[in-house]
Amino acid sequence: MSLLAAGCSFEQSVLHPGGRDAEELTALTWFMFAAAVVVWAIVMGAAIYAVVGKKRPRSERFADTFILIGGVAFPTIGLAILLLFGLSLLPSWTSAETPDVRVNVRAEQYWWRLGYELPDGKVVETANELHLPNDATVEFVLTSTDVIHSFWIPALGGKMDAIPGRTNVLRLTPTKPGTYRGVCAEFCGPSHTLMAFPVVVHKVVDFLTWLEAQQAPAAATRDVFTGAGCGACHVVRGVTETGSVGPDLTHFASRKTIGAGTLPNTRENLLAWLLAPAHIKPGVGMPSYASLPEADRLAIADYLMELR
């Protein structure tokens, strides 16, 4: 339920920006809202005056001037100001500045495969939880495996589609450390609304610590995990590296949620997930492990909770 409650907090609010683009969009929103209130008040005032005001004949010249100012000049100038304000907020596509961090994002039904590019060209794979440095330019390189999804972190900025066979680039600059919520913003199937991801914006040094920890292989191994065939779909670096259909689980326990933002990451929820993932998330690619002996499910859950 805490995730439902989170929907009412500022984690996913475009009006409580935590990034440069979102700040600009919020400013534009309030400017347009204020301008709309002024126009509405003028029109309502004119309407009320027309109904209850004293009726008296006007000269043709007055009527012409009234139409020219109220019906031509005012909308033309008003819309031109709005257009110029809007255009001034367009990102400059010619910017050659290299981003501070590049994250490869591959949308899947219904989760996010994430790869952090390191300076030496290596990529650190993770899933379903973004960690970003504050006050840094982050470039997201977006694509999709199956259908069109859309990558959106409302508190940080605008959204961008993730399209199969195409690469889209989105740049964001977080300006306020904190935890936000990102979502899929394009209907992509029955679990479209269960395709979210926490976004943690750190101070730069904390981000580097996190990235360093994510590069390490998994600490331990358990026969029950590989024995149950989990490795056919999931990579746990240092343990099983062949299957990659599902999310990388190397540092699974360090994540806040399971099922891509669907449930808080607790042992209890994990056990429910192993038992009947499709009950929690319709259309999910993960099969049920109800056929495993309960002791094995418990052991798998215990193991995953160790993968910090």
Q: Which residues bind ligand CUA (CB under 6 A)?
A: 107, 110, 149, 184, 186-188, 192, 195
Q: Whose structure tokens read 């590296």?
A: 241
Q: Which is nearer to ligand CUA, 101 or 188 (CB)?
A: 188
Cβ atoms of 250 and 262 within 8 Å: the answer is: no
Tokens matching residue 155: 């508190």
Q: What is the 3-state secondary structure (H, E, C) of 180-220?
A: EEEEECCCCCCCHHHCCEEEEEECHHHHHHHHHHHHCCCCC
Distance from C-alpha of 149 to C-alpha of 168, rounded to nearest angstrom: 12
Give the residue with the Cβ less far from ligand CUA, 30 or 187: 187
Give the DSSP per-residue string, 96-123.
-PPPSEEEEEEEETTEEEEEEEPTTS-E
Which residue, 144 or 240, has its beta carbon nearer to ligand CUA?
Answer: 144
Please, what is the minimum distance in Å from the beta carbon of residue 161 to ligand CUA?
10
d(Cα 111, Cα 124) in Å, to the nearest integer?
17
The distance of closest approach from Cβ of residue 182 to ligand CUA in the complex, given in angstroms and rounded to an integer, is 11
Kindly state the smallest distance separating residue 149's Cβ from ligand CUA, in Å: 3
Shortest distance, CB of residue 236 to ligand CUA, whole angstroms? 25
Cα diameter, the chain:
94
Would you say 20 or 149 has its CB closer to ligand CUA?
149
Give the nearer residue to ligand CUA in terms of CB position, either 65 or 167: 167
What's the CA gap between 187 and 168, in Å, rounded? 18
Nearer to ligand CUA, 29 or 167 (CB): 167
Give min distance, CB of 61 to ligand CUA, in A: 59
Q: State in angstroms the smallest separation of the CB of 126 from ligand CUA.
A: 18
